[in-house]
């Protein structure tokens, strides 16, 4: 069996967390064990780093400090959770991964993308998602959806222009790697989004089943 590493990307309120259990259920219905995890976070220590990153503070947070903390939590997560799960034959579904560092810190904050690429190679080398769902949504709709939740975290309080750069950054990455990316029109109803996910996942899972027969 070829274990698969699926990442879910997209802006605030696009519906990533809502759909992740659906994706897990769909994959498990084909008899594959799945681990759902998220970034930043995914291990106790990495979740502590998430808190460091997302809490509001009086002090200015240097964007490279933010980037390095993202990759510190990622290294912990990759080594302690993602690699062992894949090695045991599970599929891993991760709510955000390194493409988010390019979208938010690279495109959003304007940090050096070559440096982010070096960090990516150093931190997780050959381990990259085999499929990435990009939940693409107008940022105002996403914010309105997310606004129904409790308080906004530190990154969620950025200006709309920041989130527009993030959205365009994701679309740029998706266009550069069309084989890995599946773009989901996240403006549709939850049921219609699930239908799009089915159209992407069913052929993949069916082929895998046939290959294993």
Ligand X SMILES: Nc1ncnc2c1ncn2[C@@H]1O[C@H](COP(=O)(O)OP(=O)(O)OP(=O)(O)O)[C@@H](O)[C@H]1O
Q: Which residues contact 84 (CB under 8 A, 6 or more apart)?
A: none
Quick one: 103 or 131, whose CB is closer to ligand X? 103
Q: Output the residue with the shortest Cβ distance to ligand X.
A: 15
The 115-154 site mask, x for binding ligand X (CB under 6 A), equals --------------------x---------xx-x------
Out of 15, 41, 106, 108, the residue judged to bind ligand X by CB under 6 A: 15
Using the structure block, give the residue that is written with the tokens 């690429």: 117
- Nearest CA to 39 out of 147, 123, 126 is that of 123
Quick one: 17 or 65, whose CB is closer to ligand X? 17
Scan residues 13-72 and list those touching Mg ion (CB under 5 A).
16-17
State whether residue 42 is helix, strand or coil.
coil
Among Mg ion, ligand X, none, the one that 14 touches (CB under a kind-dependent 5 to 8 A) is ligand X
Distance CA 105, CA 152 (A): 18
Quick one: 42 or 86, whose CB is closer to ligand X? 42
Among ligand X, Mg ion, none, the one that 190 touches (CB under a kind-dependent 5 to 8 A) is ligand X
**Signed CA dihedral, 212, 21, 137, 116: sign only:** negative
9: contact with ligand X by CB under 6 A? no
Out of 16, 50, 124, 167, the residue judged to bind ligand X by CB under 6 A: 16
Distance CA 171, CA 144 (A): 21
- Nearest CA to 109 out of 140, 64, 139 is that of 64
Query: By rule CB under 6 A, what count of residues binds ligand X?
Result: 15
Please give the C-alpha separations between residue 4 and each of 85, 87, 111, in angstroms, as whole numbers: 10, 10, 30
State whether residue 20 is helix, strand or coil.
helix
Quick one: 102 or 135, whose CB is closer to ligand X? 135
Q: Interface residues with ligand X (CB under 6 A)? A: 10, 12-18, 135, 145-146, 148, 189-190, 193
């Amino acid at each position: 069996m070829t274990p698969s590493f699926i990442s879910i990307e997209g802006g605030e309120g696009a519906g990533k967390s809502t759909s992740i259990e659906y994706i897990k259920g769909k994959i498990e219905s084909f008899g594959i064990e799945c681990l759902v995890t998220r970034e930043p976070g995914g291990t106790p220590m990495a979740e502590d780093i998430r808190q460091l990153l997302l809490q509001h503070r009086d002090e200015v947070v240097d964007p490279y400090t933010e980037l390095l903390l993202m990759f510190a939590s990622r290294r912990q997560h990759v080594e302690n959770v993602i690699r062992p799960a894949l090695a045991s034959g599970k599929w891993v579904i991760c709510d955000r991964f390194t493409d988010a560092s390019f979208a938010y810190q690279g495109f959003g904050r304007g940090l050096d993308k070559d440096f982010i690429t070096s960090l990516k190679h150093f931190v997780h080398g050959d381990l990259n998602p085999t499929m990435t769902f990009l939940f693409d949504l107008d940022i105002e709709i996403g914010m309105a959806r997310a606004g129904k939740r409790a308080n906004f975290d530190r990154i969620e309080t950025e200006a709309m222009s920041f989130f527009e750069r993030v959205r365009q950054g994701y679309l740029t990455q998706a266009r550069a790697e069309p084989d890995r990316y599946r773009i989901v029109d996240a403006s549709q109803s939850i049921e219609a989004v699930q239908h799009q996910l089915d159209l992407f996942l069913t052929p993949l899972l069916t082929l895998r089943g046939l290959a294993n027969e």
